[in-house]
Amino acid sequence: MPLRPNRPSRPAAAAAACLVGSALLSGCGVPPELQPTPGGVVPQPTVSPVPASLPPSFTLPSLSAPPSTTAAPFPEAVAGPCLGKPSADQVVAAVRRKTSILPGSGSVTVVQQPVCAGTWQYTVVSIPDREPLQVVTKGAPAVLEVVTAGTDICTIEVRNFAPPGIRIAASC
């Protein structure tokens, strides 16, 4: 039978490691700046008083903001109802101005009211005897810009620049 060297057990090795760690940490002590002085009082920092008046060049900002000419954009992460800004009629009019996809007159039914994310909008319209038409627009309601309209609207511009809410609504 071969002879084995005498090795310490695992619990003994763990206890030894704890003792060594404690010995290393116990040498720290109290930092000199926190040690009490001979009178037993810890020195306190001194604070100089701050003048109560403001410099003459400082003016307080106005609490009322000037009226905004553009509506605040909607959150970008999720598309939500546009609440009439823009309306479905404004989207249809913008598509009629820019493209020849919609007839100049005639029946156009809004299948899905505009949803907004950021300054972009997504709408679905229908024309008799045709597939539903998806429309992506951007901008203020009075000056809508048609980004794309058709049955496949996941163009490079929509995929790269539209807010996430619009891309999700359009399934891009």
Q: What is the pLDDT of residue 65?
A: 45
- Give me the mean pLDDT over the 13-30 stretch: 58
User: Cα(3)–Cα(84) distance, rounded to whole angstroms?
Assistant: 91
Residue, of 125 and 29, whose pLDDT is higher: 125
Residue, of 12 and 87, whose pLDDT is higher: 87
Domain spans of the chain? 80-169
Instruction: Reply yes or no: is the peptide bond before residue 86 cis, omega within 30 of 0.
Output: yes
Q: What is the pLDDT of residue 75?
A: 86
- Give me the mean pLDDT over the 7-16 stretch: 60
pLDDT tens across 74-111, in order?
888 899 999 989 999 999 999 888 877 877 677 888 99
Q: What is the pLDDT of residue 102?
A: 76
Q: Mapped to the 3 state alphabet, what secondary structure does 10-72 carry? A: HHHHHHHHHHHHHHHHHCCCCCHHHCCCCCCCCCCCCCCCCCCCCCCCCCCCCCCCCCCCCCC
Q: What is the mean pLDDT of the chain?
A: 76
pLDDT tens across 122-136, in order?
999 998 888 999 999
Q: How many residues does the chain have?
A: 172
Residue, of 163 and 63, whose pLDDT is higher: 163
66 pLDDT exceeds 50?
no
Q: Report the 10 Å Cβ neighbour count for 162.
A: 27
